[in-house]
Amino acid sequence: MEKIIKAEHLVFRYPADTEENQKPAENPAVLKDVSLEIEKGSFTAVLGHNGSGKSTFAKHINAILLPESGKMFVDGLDTSDETLLFEIRQKAGMVFQNPDNQIVATIVEEDVAFAPENLGVPPDEIRQRVDDALKAVNMYEYRNHAPTQLSGGQKQRVAIAGVIAMQPECIILDEPTAMLDPQGRQEVMQTIRKLNREQGITVVLITHYMEEAALADRIVVIDDGTVILDDVPKKVFSQVDKMKELGLDVPQVTELAWELKKAGYPISTEIITEEECLQAIENLYHER
C-alpha cells in the first residue's frame, strides 16, 4: 500500500534555555532516530505519556518543526525543503487541542472559508468546499452561527471542517478531545472515523484516551523519543504489563480481561470493546 508519511532516522531537540555568562543547559533529544511509515488512507493512533515526543513527531508531519537530522517526507515531499512548505501543508492539515486557537472568524462558514481563500481558491469552489466540509462534520446547519455560541465539541468540528476545506490527504489531530466533555469527545471521534472510512482521509491521532486509540487501525507507542510498540490495537493493548511500565493505561475492558486472566480464568487479553468483553464473559459462564 502507498505510504503518505515516511520518517527516516528522525532526530530533534528543542533549543536549550541559556542564561548570560552560563553554558547551555544539557538538552537531550526529544526524538531519537525515529523511523516510521504510515499508509495512505489508514487511521493511526500515537500514544505516549507527557514529554514522550508524540506531539513533537506530529508537528514534524505538518512541517511546524523540522528535523535536526534525518528526514520527514509527506507524500514524497521533503519537509526540510522550504519551497515545498505550502504544498506540504495542503496535503497534511493539523488540528490542535484547543479549537479556539484555530477559529479566526466571527461566523462559522467564514472561518471554514478562511484557508481556501488564502490558498487563492476561486469563490465558487470555496462555496462548494465550505458546504461540503461542514456537511462532512455534521455542522452545516450551524454555518451562520457565531463560533462563540457553539459547544466545545461543535467548535472542534468546525476546526476540523476548516482543515477539510483545504482538501488535505492527511489530517493530524493533536489531542483534539482533551478539552472536551464526554459528549464532545464522542462527536469528534465519530467525525474522525467518518472522514477516514468514507472519504479515505489518512488520520494520525495523538491521544491520551485509550478507548479512542482502540478505534484506530494501528497504534504506535512512543516513549523517551523512541518507538516502543507498533501494531494493531488488540496486540498493543494485550501487553498490559508493558503499557503500565510505560505509564500508560489500556481500555477498561482490556484491563478487566487481564485481571480475570491473572485470576486463572481462560480468557483472551486481546479484548478492546465492551461487546467482545461481554461475549468472553458469557462464554466463561457457559463453560463453567
Give me the pLDDT at residue 97, please: 87
CATH of the domain at 8: 3.40.50.300
C-alpha cell of residue 183: 459528549
- Mean pLDDT along residues 71-95: 93
248 found inside a domain: no
Which tens digits make up the pLDDT trace of 234-246?
999 999 999 999 9
Domain annotation covers residue 265: no
Query: Which domain, by its residues, includes 56?
Result: 3-233
Residue 260 lies in a domain: no
The CA-based dihedral angle spanning residues 136, 140, 142, 143, taken in that order and rounded to the nearest 10 degrees: 110
Q: Are 43 and 213 in contact (CB under 8 A)?
A: no
pLDDT of residue 145: 95
Report the mean per-residue pLDDT for the chain.
Answer: 91
Which helix (DSSP H) or strand (DSSP E) does residue 114 occupy? helix 108-118
**3-state class (DSSP) for residue 213:** helix
3-state secondary structure string across 168-207 = CCEEEEECCCCCCCHHHHHHHHHHHHHHHHHHCCEEEEEC
Across the range 91-96, mean pLDDT stands at 91
Q: Does position 55 have pLDDT exceeding 50, yes or no? A: yes
- Give Cα 266 to chain centroid, integer Å: 35
In a domain, 287, yes or no: no
In a domain, 139, yes or no: yes
Give the pLDDT score at 74. 96
pTM of the model: 0.89
Per residue in 242-279, pLDDT (tens digit) is: 999 999 999 999 999 999 889 888 888 899 998 998 98
Residue located via cell numbers 497534511 = 92
The residue among 40 and 99 whose pLDDT is bigger is 40
pLDDT > 90? residue 283: no
What pLDDT was estimated at residue 17?
61
Question: In Å, what is the CA distance from 157 to each residue of 53, 121, 129?
Answer: 26, 22, 15
Give residue-wise pLDDT tens across range 118-129. 888 999 999 999
Higher pLDDT pick, 20 / 65: 65
Of the two residues 26 and 242, the one the predictor is more confident about is 242
pLDDT tens digits along 139-186: 999 999 999 999 999 999 999 999 999 989 999 999 998 888 888 888
Question: Model confidence at 26, in pLDDT bands (50, 70, 90)?
Answer: low
pLDDT attached to residue 231: 96
State the average pLDDT over residues 98-117. Answer: 91
pLDDT band at 22, cuts 50/70/90?
Answer: very low
pLDDT at 205: 96
| 7-31 mean pLDDT | 75
The residues near 128 (Cβ < 8 Å, ≥ 6 apart) are: none
Q: What number is the average pLDDT over the span 75-99?
A: 92
Q: At what angle do helices 123-136 and 152-164 cross, to 10 degrees?
A: 140
| Cell numbers standing for residue 246 | 510505560
| pLDDT, mean of residues 22-49 | 87
Report the C-alpha gap between 235 and 47 in whole angstroms. 14
When mean pLDDT is compared across 36-40, 42-46, 92-96, the lowest value belongs to 92-96
- Domain tally for the chain? 1
pLDDT of 187-227, one tens digit each?
A: 889 999 999 999 899 999 999 999 999 999 999 999 999 99
218-223 and 69-74 as β-strands: parallel, antiparallel, unpaired?
Answer: unpaired
